[in-house]
Amino acid sequence: MRALHFETHGELDVLQFGNVPDPKVPDGWALLKVDACALNHLDIWVRRGWPGLKLEMPHIGGSDIAGTLVADAGDWKADAAVVVDPGISTRQDAWTTRGEDSMSPGYRILGEHVRGGFAEFVAVPLENLHSRPAGLTAAEAAAPLLVGLTAYRMLVHRARLQAGERMLVVGSGGGVNSTAIQLGCHLGAEVHVVAGGSEKAQRAEELGAALVIDYKADAAWHKPLFTATERHGYDVIVDNVGHATWQQSLRLAGIGGRIVTVGNTSGPLAETDIRFIFSRQLSILGSTMGSHADFAAVLELLAQGALKPLIHCELPLSKGARGHEILEQGEMFGKVVLLPD
């Protein structure tokens, strides 16, 4: 089969589009024809690699999969249109028993630890299959999967966002943040956003943000935000940018505030003034992916129209390197989706 893959970690030039062996289908798994697969920043990090990451090469990325069953499998019939929960639980332990699947040492992510959907075909566990939400194209169904799962756990379980609270989302164009804006509004929060450029600012407003500050127009963007909170600061801050914005996020957190992060697009190393943490009794919360129940909840929100798929562009799989480039340069608002050639 043809796939977008790499045989060694590195920059864009390691990506190849060409023939790789067909997937093996273990017992309890199913073979899908991939109809659409969306990119995430995770795909960039995996392609670049990090100490301790050991992958079977060639590696195929892609966590957000909408596909069609190739043959009957379990209770599923051939040609069923499905989406795939990207979080794979490989064992039962204390974490999975409590429904904290993503905290289990046996948790694996499709496209990261396991070959993913940037290919003509992919093998996935039967328990990770769900019917494709009605009324969505394959691209629309694929786009919100990993980011929806991530945003749901981040806001509902980790930050415990409540109706009436004030939330700041630092950055607007990425998949998790654009989804967090929608989810925050759905949960009844007053959502403020830091956006990069007038176009992204407008899009954030269209998603329901009550206030948007364009950091490209105001380098001291944290000052008008602090004023907008009557100098009380925010109950919840979503900062997945990291190095470039961490100090501002600490300053903008209100008494008892929670700063939650699932990533670090500008770099992982940031200086922290610990005085803000103890004097304001802040909580710094990490979050990753979510549970299988969380994924089902996200699909229900999509079915209700409470979450809407956001697609920046659709590209043929053979042009997947261009998709990586779009994410690296921060050009997108929403998801880049790869489709079969």
pLDDT 10s digits, 224-238:
999 999 999 999 999
On the question of a cis peptide bond just before residue 58, with omega within 30 degrees of 0, the verdict is yes
DSSP H helix total and E strand total for the chain: 11, 17
Pairwise CA distance, residues 117 & 317, whole Å: 10
* pLDDT score, position 123: 98
pLDDT (mean) for 177-193: 97
Query: Residue 263 has what pLDDT?
Result: 86
Please say whether the beta carbons of 182 and 308 come within 8 A. yes
Instruction: Give the whole-angstrom CA distance, residue 234 versus residue 257.
Output: 6
Residues 251-299: pLDDT tens digits?
Answer: 999 999 999 999 888 888 989 999 999 999 999 999 999 999 999 999 9
DSSP structure string for 209-226 = -SEEEETTT-TTTHHHHH
Q: What is the pLDDT of residue 156?
A: 98
Domain boundaries, the chain: 2-143+309-339, 149-286
pLDDT above 90: percentage of residues in the chain: 93
- Distance separating alpha carbons of residues 142 and 276, to the nearest angstrom: 40
Give per-residue pLDDT as tens, 62-71: 999 999 999 9
Whose CA is closest to 61, among 74, 76, 46?
Answer: 46
Domain 2-143+309-339 classification at class level = alpha beta
| Residue 6 main-chain phi, psi, to 5 deg | -140, 155
Q: Given this model, what pLDDT does residue 316 score?
A: 98
Segment 89-99 mean pLDDT: 94
Q: What is the pLDDT of residue 266?
A: 84
pLDDT above 90 for 29: yes
Q: Given this model, what pLDDT does residue 331 score?
A: 83
Mean pLDDT of the chain: 95
Gap between the Cα atoms of 34 and 121, Å rounded: 5
pLDDT at residue 90 is higher than 90: yes
pLDDT at 205: 95
CATH code for residues 149-286 = 3.40.50.720
Share of the chain above pLDDT 70, in %: 100
Under the banding of pLDDT at 50, 70 and 90, the label for residue 111 is very high
Q: How many residues does the chain have?
A: 341
* pLDDT of 173: 86
pLDDT at residue 158, rounded to an integer: 97
Question: Residue 259's beta-bridge partner residues?
Answer: 237, 284
Tell me the whole-structure pTM to 2 decimals: 0.94
What per-residue confidence (pLDDT) applies to 92?
A: 93
pLDDT at residue number 234: 98
The span from the CA of 169 to the CA of 171, in Å, is 6
